[in-house]
Structure 1
Amino acid sequence: MKYTIDKKEQYVVFTPMEEKLDSALSPKLKSELLTVQAEGYPNLIIDMSQVKYADSSGLSALLVGNREFSRNGGIFIIANPQDHVMKLIKISMLDKVFHLVDSLEEAAEAIFMHEIDGGDQEEDED
């Protein structure tokens, strides 16, 4: 699996450089997300701008990341989801579970707000 990682002070930007998040790549994605979390980074932004397709195993990997980062009071944000991926997230009703934003700037701001609120904010975004 090809990807880039940009480590900031408060968060990590993880960018899969793959067009598909499917059963072939999902185990590797889960592993990489858990590795970042184990390194002590509380917050993660996954930049989905390169991912044009995801299947249920891809969503499952994202759910694992969401659960693990949230478990310790951090936040897991999906930024720049492409149309097909967004449709699948909505069909699966995971748009109520995931923190979804349209840009890395919005994601960074959400992390900033999350940190100010002490990690337990409930947001009412559409």
Structure 2
Amino acid sequence: MKFKIDTKEKIVVFCPEEDALDANLSAQFITTITNLPELNGRNLILDLNLVQTADPSGLQAIFTVYQHMYDNQLSCAITGLNNALTQHLKAEAPEILNITPTMAEAIDLVMMEELERELLDGLE
């Protein structure tokens, strides 16, 4: 799987350079992201602007990575989706995904969740 990553202080932006996220790539997608050393302690933004289609296993891979982040007390946001992918993801689980139309909004969202976690940890 070809991809680009952009590492910032508290965020890793992962951008697959594939036009389809299907059964052939879904396991590699999960493994690649969850084993990124740059992701250690950082939130994730999935920039899917080059992905045009995703089959059920591809959609499940997105959910798996997303859940992995929250299981590790980190945030995840998805941006760059075309209309078809947005509809598929929202149909599957509209209440749990952070889907944003722009990268700036994705960054704001994960940073707000990061701040919220820091504040809640400070209260305990």
Using the size of structure 2 for normalisation, the TM-score is 0.88
Question: How many pairs were matched up?
Answer: 120
Radius of gyration: which is bigger?
2
Larger helix fraction of residues: 2
Preserved contact between residue 74 and residue 119 of structure 1 (Cα < 8 Å): no
Q: In structure 1, what is the Cα distance between the partners aligned to 2:94 and 2:104?
A: 19
Over 3 Å counting, the alpha-carbon distance change for 1:35 and 1:120 in structure 2 is farther
Find the counterpart in structure 1 of residue 15 from structure 2: 15
Partner of residue 98, structure 2: 99
Where structure 1 has 5 or more consecutive residues not aligned to the other structure, the ranges are 122-126
Q: Secondary structure at the match of 2:15?
A: strand
Percent of aligned positions with the same letter in both sequences?
28
Contact 2:7–2:38 at 8 Å: present in 1 too? no
Moved over 2 A (4+): 36-39
Distance 2:37 2:68 in 1: 7
Q: Unpaired runs of 5+ in structure 2?
A: none
Structure 2 letter corresponding to 1:72 = N
Contact 2:12 2:39 survives alignment (8 Å): no
- Structure 1 equivalent of residue 84 of structure 2: 84
Cα 1:35–1:55, aligned 2, differ >3 Å: closer, same or farther? same
Query: Do the aligned partners of residues 74 and 37 (structure 1) sit closer, same or farther apart at CA in structure 2, a change above 3 Å counting?
Result: farther
> Normalized against structure 1, the TM-score is what?
0.87
